[in-house]
Amino acid sequence: MLDYSEFTLKYAPWSMSKANLAKNCPLAFNLKYVNKIRGDSPTSSPAARIGTAVHQVLETYLQGMDIKESVQRALVDNKLTTEEMDDVASYVHNIVSFKKRFTAYQEKHNISETHIEVRFGMTADLRPTEFFGKDVFMRGVWDIAMRAGDHAIIIDHKSGMCPKDAEAAFEKHGDQMRLYCLAALHRFPGMVGAQTAFHYVMSEEIFFGKSITADAITSKYIPWYVKYLNDCSRDVDTKEARTGWLCQFCEYTHLCPKKRKP
């Protein structure tokens, strides 16, 4: 068994979003995951709704659905305004372009497996398991997961603004990248290396990270993973209310002593 803290074990199973909520606001974490109180539906931003719709179009189009049907279904499913629909439509050219590049990449690199929108689960000792399995300890979703020989390649779509370079992208999303590599190591038997990439739909930029060996994932990312979860879960039992940028998306501001109006 890895050296998880009592709190990490107590509040499993985890996901990146659950761990980040534990770290950013123990009160909201307890209301959502411990007391299981149904919160108010937060008003999502137009950017968030557009991003969700763009991800859906990418998913269904890469899986073979006609682009017009993919767009129409995403617009309806996400209940977008007319202005938001226009914004999603503006991404269509880039989405079609990405599929052409993606197909060429698959052929060039002899991709033997391709999985779109893959849910993955890991046990406490990092074995692969079902996303909703009884022994699941960590859950996540890959936008695209591929296998080229004995290497795994994971691509994540981003609908927001593109950072200035690959270094900035991987600095911002480093935790996500490390988890993806760790999950790939245990999801693809015989894998000797992994590489992650971030695809920025708006700019059509794709930033590939450096390939990392399975040995390096084991020696570097497993200790990071344990520390990351232990750090995130450390203050959960304090039930402390913390303010920050997540407050604008919070379901529980009406129960928060720092946000509730007197």
Report the SS3 class of residue 124. coil
Per-residue confidence of the chain (262 residues) as pLDDT tens digits?
699 999 999 999 999 999 999 999 999 999 999 999 988 876 567 888 899 999 999 999 999 999 999 999 999 999 999 999 999 999 999 999 999 999 999 999 999 999 999 999 999 999 999 999 999 999 999 999 999 999 999 999 998 899 999 999 999 999 999 999 999 988 888 899 999 999 999 999 999 999 999 999 999 999 999 999 999 999 999 999 999 888 888 889 889 898 765 4
State the burial class of residue 78 (Cβ atoms within 10 Å of its Cβ: 0-12, 13-18, 19+).
buried
- What token pair was written down for 25? 């606001």
C-alpha separations of 59 from 63, 118, 176, 224, 262 in Å: 6, 10, 19, 30, 45
The pTM for the full model equals 0.89
Domains of the chain listed by start with CATH number: 41-230 (3.90.320.10)
Written as one letter, the residue type at 73 is R
The DSSP 8-state label assigned to residue 209 in this structure reads P
Written as one letter, the residue type at 98 is F
Note the pLDDT of residue 262: 46
Burial 197-232 (b: 16+ CB within 10 A, else e): bbbbbeeeebbebeebebeebeeebeeebeebbbeb
Is 144 within 8 Å of 154 (Cβ atoms)? Answer: yes
Q: Whose structure tokens read 């305004």? A: 81
The DSSP 8-state label assigned to residue 21 in this structure reads H
Residues 6+ apart with CB under 8 A from 243: 258, 259
Note the pLDDT of residue 189: 83
Residue 220 phi, psi dihedral angles, 5° rounding: -105, -45
